[in-house]
Chain A
Amino acid sequence: MKSTQYSEKVLDHFRNPRNVGVIENPDGYGKVGNPVCGDLMEIFIKVKKNDKGEEIIEDIKFRTFGCGSAVATSSMVTEMAKGMKVDDAYKITRSDVAEELDGLPPIKMHCSNLAADALKAAIDNYRKGTEPFVEASHSCTTEIKVILGLEEFKGKGVYMKVDDLAKLKDKRVLIVDTGDKSIELALKLTEYTGRVILLTSSKTLPGSDDLKKKLKSSDVKVIFQSEILEIKGTDEVEKVLIHDFDEDENYELFIDSVVILD
């Protein structure tokens, strides 16, 4: 079955998604998925007690990055859960959502039917705690750990300082955030190449307020909450292995140069 062979209901929820948005100060917040895999979903809930003292989902909102079925399942689960008892909403399963949508293509069942999981995460968050947001468990560190291949590729694509920016012209450059100097370098390098990536362990934009502002409007691509594990190549740098500690996942990225300022 083609990925685009969606039921009319799926298409309707994709075209006109219900309950899109954010609830400020929600009672529960759930986030599942990973943009690397192509799906990320968040659900916000507001809970109140009815006359009988039962907990009811009074309001629910979502935001989704993903394919047609990811959007449709998010929209559907919010529609199903709105006004429901929290206990009942907790029991909504992936297949309940798929069924309500008159089915999903088989290939989409496992990857994008995350909506029920996001709702569960939001309810768990509501029940467990005072903190409505799940914070990343990792603290940010600027300490550079051992990087495999670092010594081997020094001068062959790995640079600890850059005197002549022109030698990085048109190269794909990955700069490790080691403070404001590295950010300034990243910004300057955008005049020499279209591909500058800043890798930071921080969760938000690093650097001084001024640099943050400049980064925001620049062409520097920032990778957050990550570190380099290994530098790979035959004679020169070809790829880096990156560890994303928010998702606890490793992946390879094709690049030409790595800059780690001393």
Chain B
Amino acid sequence: MEQDEVKVWDPFVRTFHWALVLSFTVAWLSGEELETLHAYAGYAVAGLVLLRMAWGVIGSRHARFSDFVYRPAEVRSFLGDTLRLRARRYIGHNPAGGAMILLMLVTLLITAVTGVAYYGIEDAAGPLAMLAGGSGTMKDAMEELHEFSANLMLLLVLVHLAGVLLESLVHRENLVKAMFNGRKHA
């Protein structure tokens, strides 16, 4: 570690982040064609999200919900400052980043639950196989919601990437690198 650097992201935060990137990408790409791979990638996403939620309570300082959940007013004012390119720098997640994490976790949970429910009704497979033969309306609703939340997740990913790029430029630091080695300059 260089002298003026501090540890920010613990090993689990980083492992989680990149394992989620991989699982979500696989799930997204296999969605229409490879049903089994899609289901397993979805299980991986769901498992990772649950681990992250537990970690948000028992994890290291900057991994905790209490460290990155801000009041909506603070998120708004941070976004306003960001657009004027004068947002202050946070060592952990900034208010907008924290809000994005919550949005993503919830969106992924909805995607996973509706996916598993659809899989159960349609194919009598997976953890909710007992829903098999459920009503067609229910099945269609699950399918619609699953697709909607998956698309929403893709949109959130794009906004997240734009946010990372913008903050990296404004504060002249490489946030992508920090998510690999866990370190930021002090």
A-B complex is real = no
Q: Which residues of A contact B (CB under 8 A)?
A: none
Q: Which residues of B contact A (CB under 8 A)?
A: none
